[in-house]
Structures are given as C-alpha cells and as structure tokens.
Structure 1
Amino acid sequence: MDDQRKMKEGYNQREEIDLYQLIADTWKNLRRLWWMVILLVLIGAAGVFGFQHILQTPMYESSATFTVATGSSGSRSYSFYYDNSTADQMSKTFPYILESSYFCSVLTEKLESSSINGTITAETISNSNVVTMKVQSPDPQDAYDILTAAIEVYPETAYFVLGNISFEMLTEASIPSEPCNQYGKVKSLLMGACGGLFIAVTICGLLALFIKNVRSTEEMKKITSVRCMAHLPKVRFKARSKTGDTRVFISNKGLSGEYNESIRVLLSRVLNSMNRNHGKVLLITSTIAGEGKSVTAANLAYKLGKDGNKVLLVDGDLRKQSDGELLGVKGTFGLSDVRNTKSESEALEAFERYGTKLEGADVWILENEKKTDQPAPVLSSKRARRFLDTMRNRMDYIIIDSPPCTLFQDASILAEYADEILYVVKYDKLPSWKIRDGLKSIGNQKAVVSGYILNECPEMRGGYGYGRYGYGKYSYGKYGYGKYGYGHRGYGVGKEKEEDQE
C-alpha cells in the first residue's frame, strides 16, 4: 500500500511539473513568436470589424412584452391565464400562428404591402402567459411597423385556436436605433483582437505540447551515449557591478562565481579525458549558432593559459570571427593569412610578428577580422594543415572554435585536425532530432566526441540547474563531497572524480 501511495504521489507530482512546464513553454513561445501574436491579433480585429461593418447586413430588432388575457364568448370581462396546461398550450400555439398563411395575409393587408420586410418570432415564459414578440428587419421603421401591426391583428387571427384574447402590454414597442447583429466599432475591434490572441495562445500551447526541446541529461541519453561534461548556468551579472561589461568571460568581475566554478569543473573533466587519450587539440562545436560554443572555447582557453599552459585558440569560423572580441582583444592574423604565405617558415614568422597574445595568460589567438566567403579551401589547404601540425608541437593545447556542424562542412574539415570534440547543447533550444543529426554529422571523423555540455541551464528550476546538476546531485552533493566523498562515508574524491581519473 505504501508503495502504491508513493507511486501515485510521484505520478501526481510529475503531472503538476508537466503542467507548469507546459505553461512556461507556452509563454516562451509567445515571447519568441511575438510577431505571430501581433499578426493574429491584427487579423482577428480586422476580420471581425470588416465582417460586421462591411460584409454583414445590419439588422434592427423591435420587441414588445405583454400578457395574454382570455374571456368567455360574449363577455367583456377577461381574466389572466394561471392554469399551467392552458399556458403550456398557448406557448406551443403562439409561434405556430405567426407562421400560418392566414396570419401573413392579414398582416400584409394591414401593412398595405405585398410582402413582410422582416421576420417575426415569439417567446413565452414557461408556465405563464407572458409573451415577448420580436421583429427583425434591415429597416428600423419597418421593424417597428411590422411589430405593432402583428400585435394588433394577432387576436383576430388566433380566435379559432385560442378564442377571445387580448394583450396587456408590459413593454411597449419602439423604433430601434442600433443594429442588433453588430457591435460598436471599438467592441468589434476588441472582440476580434481577443479572438486572434486566443488563436495565438492555442498555437503556442500546441507547439509547447508536441515540440519538446532538450532540457536534461535524461533526454540527452536518448540521443547519444557520450557523457555530460558539465552544466553551465544561465549567466546573471551582479546587480552592483559598475563596470558595464556584459561579456560572459571568467575574467569579468561582474560575472557570478557559479559560472566560473562550472568552467573550472568542465576544464578538469576535459583535461582528464584528453590526457587519458594523449590528446592536445580540442574542437568545440554545436548544432546551430547561438548555443554558446565560442564563449565556451574562449573561457576554456583563458583558464588553461592562466593555469600556466601555452594555448592556441583558433577561430575556425572564417565567415564571422568573434573570439578576439570575447577576450577583449583584436585579432590580426588568422587561418586565411596562413594560407596566403609562401612557406611554412614565413607563416610562423608572420604569426609571431602579427599574432595576438592575451595579457595575463599565455594564450595566442589565431584570427583576423577579415571575412571569408568560401572557407573550405582555406581550412583544407596544405599550408593550414602544416601550420597547425607545427603549433601542435609548440603549444600545450590547441582549442578550435568551429562553426555549427549542421550549417556548413567547415566543422567536418576542422575535425580532421582535432583529437577530441566537445559538443555544446543549449538548454531548451532544439528538439532531440536536430541534436541527433548534428552529432551524427560530426561523429564520422577520427576525433572522438568526448562529451557535451548543457549550456545556459536555469538555476533552481525544475531540477536542471544548480539545484540538481550543479552543486546538488552531480557535484558537491550526492556524488561530490556528500555521500561518496568526504562528507558522508567516503574518504576519496567522490564518484564523479573517480570516473574522471579512469
């Protein structure tokens, strides 16, 4: 019974979390597809307004409410209906008489017209003799005239069915001033806008329900068997920082300490993997642009250089080189310049003269600001290959910032120079099939995909930020200095560190 209760509670908890996530994803889609929301709101407002005030014929309604009294033949006295059966008979008979040919002929004669320019309806309150008669017509005066004439001729036409009857008016008929089938201009616009907004919310909700982006290592396990190297948090700068520097760079004093610690953990695991496989060249790529690969490459290179290693950071995205900007310097010598040299010695001499070196860290940057429309011939040239082979012997580590692997063949070419590949996956950015295609496109190279990082994870949200994967479950909590480390029963460095040392 306890197990069943726990299973039921766990099921209900997952349902609540799913509902919360669905709402959050719908709101995210609304913000991301703001242009669609505005478009649908405008279309809805214009559609309702146009239909009501341009396409639809305005109809005017005149109504009157009265009670029906009846009396015996030859008597001038009348009494109200209070008998339920008689009232029920009247409620069924009253509309029927209005549709009879006899009533229509008498009414047209009264109106001195060949036809009735409107429709007549009547409603009776259940178990009573209260009747509301309505007339709708495209002309307000006709609606009023038809209603008054119908009230006048009805007792005569209903004599053979209901006997002697008379009406006692409760609400008099009047000439309508506004159409009954149209709202005011402002209300029409508001109704249409609300309808468009409802459709937009529905579309975003369906997208959130059926298109699920990757948010956790559990979802990544369904895509690949490579390990998760780290969960990098979504960056939030310190509120009291006065530097105005918003670069996601570990030397930035306005950056939170959690990100710096995550980079340190990531670098430790990357080095363990590369040292285990005797590798020196790391390629960093992603599925599409905007997932944080350049930021990750720049931070790893800087951290390596600060730790006393001689590092070469290669900006392999020749279409848009940005690593120097992230590091706060201006690159002046890149792979395209290497290709334009006449010999290997000339390329090395030019690099030593014009290459960019960071201050405070032994990091050299191979990049320039020139854009190359056709990078493939540059990246696959013999001059570039020989230069990188020489740098492999001169540097402790080489980090290559590659373009996204699903957009161009550049990543596959650069992977030929690498020993290992680090794949960047942005939290809640792409569905699993896109990430799977990206890993598949880069997985046929000699360089092995050593792992991936889940980037920009929200803190303390749904178990995917620091609450579960940062300092919680997979760091200093369960597998760090907690259960398997110094805190609970172990005296080593924790399960995760043991895995790194294998």
Structure 2
Amino acid sequence: MADQRQDIRIEKTEDEIEIDLGRLIWGMWKLLLRFWWAVVLLAAIGAAGFTLYQRLGKTPLYQSSATFTVATGDEDSGSYSFYYDQTTADQLSKTFPYVLESSYFRSMLLDQLGTDELNGTISAETITDSNVVTMRAESPDSQDAADILSAALEIYPETARFVLGEIQFNMLDEMEVPTAPFNQMSVKRSLAFGGAGGAFAALCILGVMALFRRTARDPEEMKRVTSLKCLAMLPHLQVKARKNQGQQRISVLDERTPHGYRESMRSLRLRIGRLAGREGCKVILVTSTAAGEGKSTVAVNLARMLAADGKKVLLADGDLRKPSDADLLGIRGKYDLKDAAEKGKETRAVIRRIKDSGLHFLGSTRKYEKPAAILTDEGLRVFFEEVRQRFSYVILDSPPCEMFQDAGLLAEFADLILYVIRYDTVPQNRIREGLSSLSGRRASFAGYVFNNCPETGGVYGYGRYGYGYGKYGYGKYGYGKYQQKQEEGEAI
C-alpha cells in the first residue's frame, strides 16, 4: 500500500527572485492592510523629527536681497537699459562679484557698519548677457542682514570706481527687512514634508517585505517547495461572524454558501475518496504550517461532504491546545482524545452522533497545555485501531505542525496527510520546514489544498457572491440555538 502513495520531494534550493509587478503590488496592499498602523506611526515620527530638526538642528538665517540694473557713465546714459553689448555684459558678470570678495570692499563695509566683525555674508549674481544684478546679504539676525545689504549698496559704486568706472544702481526690487528665516520651513510645511517622507519610507519597507516575502500563491510557486499535487483551490469568502460567535462558521451544507466554494469542496472530497479507496486508507490527518490557515474549516467540511455521501464518518478534534471543531459545528463537545485514551472508556461512550448530518464527532472545548502525554498514550492507539474498523473515514483535525510536535505524533495514527496552505500568507521556507517535519511518518501525503484564494474571474465568480451570515439574519431567526439543539445529538 505504501509504495502506491504519492512520494514527496521537498526542494532545498532557493530559486532566483522573479519580480511580478502585479503580485508585488498585491503583496504590498496586503501588507498595508495589515501594517497600516506602522505607516501612520512612521509618518508621525517623520513629521515630528523633521520639524524638530528644522527648529533645533538648523541655525535660522535671514536673507535680504535687492535687484537692480547697473549703468555706467553719466546719469542719462541708459540708466534704465537692461541689456548691454556682449563684451560689457561679460565684463560686468566677472567683475561685480570679484569686487565684493576683495579685502578693500570688506574693510570699507566694516567701517560703514562701525564694527570689527561682519555678522553675515554678502553675495551677488548677474543675469547672463545683461546688466541686471541681484545682491544678497545673509545673517542670523534679520536686522543685521538688512544693514549689511544697505551698507554694501551704498559703498559699492565708490569701491568699484577704479575697476568699472562711474556706475549707477537703478532699483528694480527694493530691499526689505526679512521677517522669517529663508532656510527653515513653516511648521505646516515641515509637518507635511516630514510626514510624507516617513510614509514614503514605510511604503518602501513594505515593498521590500513584499519582494522578499516569498509566500505561496499558486501551484507553480509550490513546485519550488514540494512535488505534492494541489487537490483543490478554495476561494476567499467574505464571512461576517455573528455576535458572541468565536469562529467563522462556513458550511458546505448551507445553500447560501457560494457555489464555487461548495464545488471546490466536492472536488476535494472526490479526490480524497478515490485516493483513500485505492490505497485502503481510512484515517486522514488535516494540518497546516501555522495557525489561521483554515485547516479546521477544511477538516469539518470535508467530513460533512463525506458523510453527505452516506459514508460513516468520524470527525476527531486532535488540537488539544486550541480545540475549535465543536464551535465550528455549533455544538457542545463533551469528550476528547484524552477520554478516548482512557482504557476504561468504551468507543461508543465517547463518540457523539450529530443528528440529521450522519456525522460522528469526538472533541470538546477543554484545553491542555502539555498534550504530548495524551498523544503518546497506548490507549489512543487502541482507540484508532477500533474506529478504523467501525468507520468508513476518520478525519483527524491536527494542530499546525510548525510550533509543536503534536501533528507529528498524530501522524502515527493516520494513513494520509492533507496539508492546508492559506494563499499568500506563510513564507515558502516555513511551508518547506512544516512538510519536512511530517515526512517519514507512518502516514503519507495525499496532497495540499490552497485556501482563501482571491477571485480569478472564473466561471463561479467567487468574489461576487460574498458570504455574510449577518445578511441572511441568522440572529433574527435564532439559528444558533436551533442548530445547537438539532446537531448536538446523543452518544452512539
């Protein structure tokens, strides 16, 4: 029997990263929905940090400027002419700044200001091929900037007389005393600029995370991880949980569940049935890499589908650390694997039959911190040998295999392993490690299921239907209490 089962090959090598822009954007969007608070936090930090830097990290400088034309000769010789011939314009552009930098001009400026040290700097620039000049004075003090510029404008013609000859300034833009530093933004602009920078940095980080995340998103990508076959791709469903409902209950027996989801589960049931029938397998372990991938929902609905075919099916909740199957079924579980392992407990006493569905159930809501002793009890092995004879199928819902050894221990009681992978959630290297932890056990791998796949525009149009319990008024008609009474059943 074992040689007929599907062999598993777990790839160890890493492929080169291939960038798919559409998937990269989708990955960034998913990360943004998950870590939006980090984007807001970095934007706030950026806004606060940049504003503090503007106010405390930079010395405020004030700038006073004046724009004017320079005319040579007497007062009426083109004093308002903006353009000279090319030779004169070139001479002016080279000479005017040179005069400002001379020691003679500087000494004259200090004498004019009546000080020994200049509290600022002065500069000038000319417009190419013209006699238009802009002179600027910068200083940590606004009044000093205005005084320096005023003194420079007053003494420059006399200082430059020996170089440029007689010159006149004709103001186009009068100087003013500056009221705000030119090298600092306003508080509003600082906050906006810093916030935008922080948000951009956060988006860049999300982009890098999306690029290197390497999650599983389709069977082609899974070929890099394992040779296992994809048995089904279950679509994403929009489920609105009722008040006080701990789990989102999705039932393939409910006609309001989207047709695409039910058809995918039927396909899974047929493939599992053919594989189990061909190999004489009865106990099917359902597990995943990490919590939250939907393996319990898959296990419950696979059991429901098999029972709906008239098979005698037992659903056993093997997750003793965090049991959830009873809640998904809407019943109160009484007995679990611990009770089944006790030699004094008969099989009929611990298994409950759910009315109207034909499904049998073993599980409770009790939690165990250290279930290893229970899962290695010889009485549990005897129990599974008995139920293997009495039931057509035993669906064993296992804990995720990443954190604890529970799944590996339960695999010793199973014949087949069905691995559930949530679309674009767990990195490929973690899936690879999870599969490796189960290889070499008594049970062989049947394949894997892709859960929570997005709408692909196929024939079923998964995304168009949605699935909201609140929309159909379960609370209004008291479905929860009614289901509990009908499904809880009695011991078999």
Instruction: Select which of 413, 418, 426 maps to 1:417.
Output: 413
Task: Tell whether the 8 Å contact from 1:40 to 1:197 is kept in structure 2 after alignment.
Answer: yes
Distance 1:466 1:412, change over 3 A: farther
Residue 190 of structure 1 corresponds to: 192
Which one of the candidate residues 166, 181, 205 is aligned to 1:203? 205
TM-score, normalised via structure 1 length: 0.83
Provide the C-alpha distance between the structure 2 equivalents of 1:42 and 1:51, rounded to a whole number of angstroms: 14
Q: Secondary structure at the match of 1:132?
A: strand
Partners of 1:157 and 1:22 in 2: how far apart?
Answer: 66
Quote how far apart the aligned CAs of 1:67 are: 0.6
Query: Where do residues 77-476 of structure 1 align in structure 2 (5 Å cutoff)?
Result: 77-79=76-78, 80=81, 81-236=83-238, 247-339=249-341, 341=342, 343-344=343-344, 346-348=345-347, 350-351=349-350, 355-460=351-456
Superimposed CA distance per residue, residues 327-348 of structure 1 (whole angstroms, 9 cap, x where no aligned partner): 1112111012334x3x24x243
User: How many Å apart are 1:303 and its aligned residue?
Assistant: 1.2
Is contact 1:213–1:428 with CA below 8 Å preserved after alignment? yes
- Secondary structure of 1:332's counterpart equals coil
Query: Taking structure 1 as reference, are residues 21 and 294 closer, same or farther at Cα in structure 2, changes over 3 Å only?
Result: same
Q: Cα offset for 1:360?
A: 1.6
- Cα distance in structure 2, aligned partners of 1:99 and 1:468: 76
Match in the other structure for 1:13: none
Question: 1:394, 1:357 → 2: CA distance?
Answer: 14
2:20 aligned counterpart, secondary structure: helix
- Which position in structure 2 is the counterpart of 1:497? none
Q: Note if contact 2:67-2:171 (Cα within 8 Å) is conserved in structure 1.
A: yes
Please state how far the C-alpha of 1:88 moved relative to its aligned partner. Answer: 2.1
Contact 1:63 1:147 in 2 (8 A): yes
Offset of residue 120 of structure 1: 1.3
Larger mean CA deviation between 112-121 and 76-85 belongs to 76-85
Given that 2:260 and 2:461 are in contact with CA atoms closer than 8 Å, whether structure 1 keeps it comes out as no
Cα distance change, pair 158–359 in 1 and its aligned pair in 2 (3 A):
farther
Shift of 1:450: 1.1
1:228 Cα offset (Å): 1.1
The aligned residue for residue 489 of structure 2 is none
Structure 1 residues 321 and 246: alpha-carbon distance in aligned structure 2, compared to 1, 3 A threshold? closer
Deviation of 1:321 (Å): 0.4
C-alpha distance in structure 2 between counterparts of 1:300 and 1:450, whole Å? 14
Mean alpha-carbon deviation: is it higher for 247-256 or for 446-455? 247-256
Matches within 5 A, 1:480-499: none
CA contact (8 A) 2:64 2:149 kept: yes
Deviations 1:46-90 (A, max 9, x none): 11110012222221111111111111xxx5544345112221222
Quick one: structure 1 residues 147 and 275, their matched pair in 2 at CA, closer, same or farther if it must change by over 3 Å?
A: same
Name the % identity.
Answer: 49
* Structure 2: tracts of 5 or more residues without a match: 1-18, 463-492
Separation in 1, partners of 2:125, 2:215 = 56
Gap regions ≥5 residues in structure 1: 1-16, 470-502
* 1:237 CA displacement: 5.9
CA contact (8 A) 1:416 1:446 kept: yes
Query: Is residue 43–residue 199 contact of structure 2 (8 Å, CA) maintained in 1?
Result: yes
**CA-CA distance at 1:264 after TM superposition:** 0.4
Take 1:424 and 1:247, find their aligned partners in 2: how far apart are those partners? 17
Given residue 58 of structure 1, which amino acid in structure 2 is its aligned partner?
Answer: P
Separation of aligned partners in 2, 1:185 and 1:430 = 43
Residue in structure 1 matched with residue 69 of structure 2 by the alignment: 67
CA–CA distance in 2 between the matches of 1:441 and 1:466?
A: 37
By how many angstroms is 1:33 displaced?
A: 1.8
Q: Is the 8 A contact 2:248 2:328 kept in 1?
A: no
- Cα 1:76–1:184 shift into 2, 3 Å: closer
Partner of 2:54, secondary structure, is helix
Contact 1:330 1:356 in 2 (8 A): no
Equivalent residue number for residue 480 of structure 2: none
- Give the letter for the 1:452 counterpart: Y
TM-score, with length taken from structure 2: 0.85
**How far apart are residue 433 of structure 1 and its match?**
1.7
Contact kept in structure 2, 1:233 and 1:466, CA below 8 Å: no
d(CA) in 1 for partners of 2:313, 2:417 = 17
Conserved 8 A contact 1:60-1:139: yes
Deviation at 1:194, TM superposition (A): 0.3
Task: State the 1:212 CA deviation.
Answer: 2.7
**Aligned counterparts of 2:416 and 2:47: Cα–Cα separation in 1:** 56
Q: Across the two proteins, how many residue pairs are aligned to each other? A: 438
CA distance in 1, matches of 2:136, 2:190: 24
CA contact (8 A) 2:303 2:395 kept: yes
Cα deviation, 1:456-484, whole Å, max 9, x if unaligned, reads 111226xxx66899xxxxxxxxxxxxxxx
Query: Equivalents in 1 of 2:391, 2:361: separation in Å?
Result: 12
> Secondary structure of the equivalent of 2:144?
helix
> Is residue 48 from structure 1 mapped to residue 87 from structure 2 by the alignment?
no
2:331 maps to amino acid:
V
Quote the Cα distance in structure 1 between the aligned partners of 2:358 and 2:423: 32
SS in 1 for 2:270: helix
Q: Give SS of 2:107's match.
A: helix
Query: Considering only aligned residues, what root-mean-square deviation do their CA atoms show, in Å?
Result: 2.3
- CA-to-partner distance for each residue in 1:161-182, whole Å, 9 max, x for gaps? 2222111001111111111111
Give the aligned partner of residue 486 of structure 1.
none
Counterpart amino acid of 1:222? R
Distance change (3 Å), C-alpha of 1:370 and 1:234: same
Q: Deviations over 1:153-207 (max 9, x none)?
A: 1112222222221110011111111111112212211111000011111111222
